Amino acid sequence: MIGNETKLGMSRGIPEPKLTAVDAMIDKLTGAIFVFQIVVVIVLGIAGNVWKDTEARKQWYVEYPNEGPWYEVLVIPLRFELLCSIMIPISIKVSLDLVKSLYAKFIDWDNEMIDLETSTRSHATNTAISEDLGQVEYILTDKTGTLTENKMIFKRCCISGIFYGNESGDALK
């Protein structure tokens, strides 16, 4: 067997897109708001049709045209859909992306984030890095030292508001 018939080829699937915690939360909230919006449109569409059939005809100064059967089912709920369309702000995703890009630039411009040995400045290659910095769940260590050149030095951390280490980063040398 070769190609897609192998065990590896058959177990391969479409990779799931990676989202930051904020993006996942925004997507969930947008979905919930959309479902709420549909419920509101249905309720207001029914209420609008009931009002049109009972009260609107009594208004002698408002001439309603003779509409077809599609009017009550389509036009009145569509009007409420247009009125409720501002519930989901489109600009929030654009604003968040602009802010993420600005945060990445702040990381690039930070004068205190320089490797003193090589004089290399920090460079954010991902705009979501500032969101993910506070979302660390696992710490992976390099026991063999092949990746870190045996320079795993504890510098400083903050756990539950208590700082361990010192400003200079030579706490455990």
Catalytic residue among 27, 53, 110, 142: 142
Q: pLDDT averaged over the chain?
A: 80
Q: Read off the pLDDT of each residue in 105-111 and give the average, rounded to a whole number.
A: 89
Whether 123 and 72 share a structural domain:
no
Whether 129 and 148 share a structural domain:
no
Has residue 32 got a pLDDT over 90?
A: yes
For residue 116, the model assigns a pLDDT of: 83
162-165/156-159 β-pairing? antiparallel
Its domain, for residue 105, covers: 90-135
Comparing 8-12, 41-45, 84-88, the range with the smallest average pLDDT is: 8-12
Has residue 144 got a pLDDT over 60?
A: yes
Catalytic residue check, 170: no
125: in domain: yes
Whether 83 and 34 share a structural domain:
yes
Q: Residue 115 burial (CB < 10 Å; 0-12/13-18/19+)?
A: exposed
Last residue in a domain, options 88, 121, 147: 88
Q: Read off the pLDDT of each residue in 143-170 and give the average, rounded to a whole number.
A: 72
Whether 113 and 57 share a structural domain:
no
42: in domain: yes
How many domains does the chain divide into? 3
For 159, the enclosing helix (H) or strand (E) is strand 156-159
Which of residues 140 and 29 earns the better pLDDT score?
Answer: 29
For residue 171, the model assigns a pLDDT of: 58
